[in-house]
Amino acid sequence: MTNKKDLDGALAWIDLTGKVAHVTGGAKGIGKGIATALAMAGARVMVSDINLEGAQAVAAEIGGAAMALDVTDRASCENAVKATVDRFGQLDVLINNAGVVQTGPVVDFSEEDWDSVFAVNTKGIFLMAKAAIPALSESDNAAIVNTASIAGKKGHANMSAYCGSKFAAVGITQSLAFELAPKAIRVNAICPGIVGTAMWLEH
């Protein structure tokens, strides 16, 4: 569970009062921590996840809203942005945090698992950004933050799919930063190390 006391100190200088954020993959792990931190900083938060019950539990904890989202589906992503704007009237921050991991040597790695990893970790960023850019363009202080990984900066054995997808996430982030700068939309990525979340412990 996120340590509120630790977050209080870390967020003392951040004020997101009046801002609206959408966090994908927010039902647990890093996504839950991000959603909690945003809410503590004053933002109104839409928590989305393919696991709706988990998203609802987080939303209940932080006083936000929740919805089901499949980041690999264009219509689902478009609906996620629309639902956020319908609920809160705007969108200022998009957190592309949804992610999956599959590991193993390439010779034994299935094509289905490869496609699944890239669909969530890479295509999901594309679809959510594409859906959100029009709404973000209406904000006077907009940002997109993509959850990449240290695995997106250095390759590792038996992690070709995951590393490849996270390298792609970094590249997409850098390209979008240049592309959206004229619209005053900041785009950044975070690159966490291995965190003891369910994604790693249960895969």
Active site residues: 162
Buried b (16+ CB within 10 A) or exposed e, 18-52: ebbbbbbbbbbbbbbbbbbbbbbbebbbbbbbbbe
Q: What is the 3-state secondary structure (H, E, C) of the chain?
A: CCCHHHHHHHCCCCCCCCCEEEEECCCCHHHHHHHHHHHHCCCEEEEEECCHHHHHHHHHHHCCEEEECCCCCHHHHHHHHHHHHHHHCCCCEEEECCCCCCCCCHHHCCHHHHHHHHHHHHHHHHHHHHHHHHHHCCCCCEEEEEECCHHHCCCCCCCHHHHHHHHHHHHHHHHHHHHHHHHCEEEEEECCCCCCCHHHHCC
